[in-house]
């Protein structure tokens, strides 16, 4: 319950910031689009916090397998994108370790989604 309250509180704070971004950043079109995306994401995270507070049955997990796969694709593709576009030219050695860990965690999320999809645990 405490985790759900914390998640919902942080998401509501992010929603308020995105609302301010949408209302007061009229000069920049990217600010409007970014504010709308952040606001929609914040509302979705609030629903996750409410599910945690009220202990709604999750049938194997809080997030569905399709979301875990989407997040896994992001975690694997983002470091590859940075390497291909050569945004890594001034990276210290430890950022390469972080990129490798990010890719490894993406593979892990994909395997968790595959296990949950194939098992009796339904999301």
Q: Residues of 33-49 as b/e, b for ≥16 C-beta within 10 angstroms?
A: eebeebbeebeebbeeb
Residue 69 in contact with residue 111, Cβ under 8 Å?
A: no
What does the pLDDT read at residue 115? 85
Domain segments of the chain as ranges: 2-54, 65-118
What does the pLDDT read at residue 122? 54
pLDDT tens digits, residue range 70-100?
999 999 998 888 888 887 778 888 888 998 9
Instruction: Flag residues of the chain having pLDDT under 50.
Output: 123
What does the pLDDT read at residue 70? 92
Residue 52 in contact with residue 2, Cβ under 8 Å?
A: no
Whole-model pTM above 0.85?
Answer: no
Residue 102 in contact with residue 75, Cβ under 8 Å?
A: yes
> How many angstroms separate the CA atoms of 75 and 54, rounded?
30
């Amino acid at each position: 319950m405490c985790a759900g309250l914390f998640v919902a509180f942080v998401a509501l704070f992010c929603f308020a910031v995105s609302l301010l971004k949408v209302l007061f950043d009229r000069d920049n079109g990217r600010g409007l689009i970014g504010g709308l995306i952040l606001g929609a994401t914040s509302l979705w995270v609030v629903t996750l916090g409410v599910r945690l507070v009220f202990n709604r049955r999750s049938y194997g997990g809080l997030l569905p397998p399709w979301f875990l796969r989407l997040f896994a694709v992001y975690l694997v593709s983002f470091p590859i994108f940075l390497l291909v576009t050569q945004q890594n030219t001034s990276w210290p050695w430890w950022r390469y370790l972080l990129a490798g860990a990010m890719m490894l965690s993406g593979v892990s999320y994909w395997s968790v989604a595959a296990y949950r999809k194939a098992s009796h645990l339904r999301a």
